[in-house]
Amino acid sequence: MTFPCQPGRPRNKPWTKLILRLLIPDFSIKFTTNPILMKSFKDLFIKSEEDGEKVNEVTEQPVTKPAAGFPVNPGQSPQNIVPSGNPYLDEIILVYEKGLDSINMPGYDFYDFFTAIKAAGVQNEAVYKMAFQMGKTMDSSLNSQKLVTDADFYLSKLKDVHQKYADQGQQKLDSVLSQSRNERESLSNSTNSMELEIAKLKQQIADLEKKLADTRGVLSQVDQKYKPQQEVIERKMQANNEALRVSALKLTAVRDAIQLYLK
């Protein structure tokens, strides 16, 4: 799955880890002892050229990821958002998440806000407001309406990609079902023809009955022959639908919380 890329979009945003570092006290990033640690909150995000060189001295340790799952609305349990049982679901959700990351728009937007909230691992007004204030440090024009508008943009991209692959999956399923139907009809016609021939040609009944038995054996295996392909395609399509629901719920949960907490 691929998401349409935004032209001119910067691939890395070096201030993202600093935001996470302030939101999450135990975020596993260790800094070297240099003067930047003594600067004001503002200086952590607005750097001079000299400071920019010092930031490059930061050393990064492996990050301990929070528990799986996105932030959810109050009263909405993670189990309701992430269903289980489909072996393709996790793979497709990961594709959706990588796709969202690939279209991350320039500057600080909803996706950066969403990433900070997700990494914080909590869902409350204080975290939302802190992430919002940090975002305004990145972009003074940031407001809750812009975040909601950006959230709708990402949701629309999710739906566009889902529809594209839902259509492709349906085409593949239709093709397999058509092959199965055609082969079944062909074998059925052959059976009928051979039964008529047996009635007309008694002397050849022994040979024809053997051929009929063989053909019926093949016919009885048609459904079983195509069943694995059909099940795989159907499960992938189900996973695609579930991935849309899961991913959309995650983004919608944060969008709704923005409207709730950041009025």
Three-state SS string across 2-18, please? Answer: CCCCCCCCCCCCCCHHH
Q: Look at residue 22 in the predicted model and tell me its pLDDT.
A: 54
Tell me the per-residue pLDDT of 159-198, one tens digit each, with 9 for 90 and over: 999 999 999 999 999 999 999 999 999 999 999 988 888 7
> What DSSP state is assigned to residue 73?
-
Domain boundaries, the chain: 1-7+87-105+141-263
DSSP H or E stretch at residue 247: helix 222-261
Q: Look at residue 197 in the predicted model and tell me its pLDDT.
A: 80
Sign of the torsion angle spanned by Cα atoms 36, 37, 41, 44:
positive
Q: Look at residue 263 in the predicted model and tell me its pLDDT.
A: 74
Give the chain's radius of gyration (CA, Å).
29
Structural contact between residues 2 and 165, judged by C-beta atoms closer than 8 angstroms: no
Q: Look at residue 84 in the predicted model and tell me its pLDDT.
A: 64
- What residues contact 73, with CB distance under 8 A and at least 6 apart? 123, 253, 256, 257
Q: Look at residue 203 in the predicted model and tell me its pLDDT.
A: 79
Q: Look at residue 238 in the predicted model and tell me its pLDDT.
A: 93
Q: For residue 250, which of 128, 117, 127, 141 has the smallest C-alpha distance?
A: 117
Which residues of the chain carry a pLDDT beneath 70?
1-84
Q: Look at residue 37 in the predicted model and tell me its pLDDT.
A: 29
Tell me the per-residue pLDDT of 221-238, one tens digit each, with 9 for 90 and over: 988 989 999 999 999 999
Q: Look at residue 20 in the predicted model and tell me its pLDDT.
A: 55
Structural contact between residues 71 and 123, judged by C-beta atoms closer than 8 angstroms: yes
Structural contact between residues 11 and 38, judged by C-beta atoms closer than 8 angstroms: no
* The pair of three-digit structure tokens given for residue 113, joined into one six-digit string: 């806000």
* The pair of three-digit structure tokens given for residue 58, joined into one six-digit string: 């930061």
Q: Look at residue 119 in the predicted model and tell me its pLDDT.
A: 86
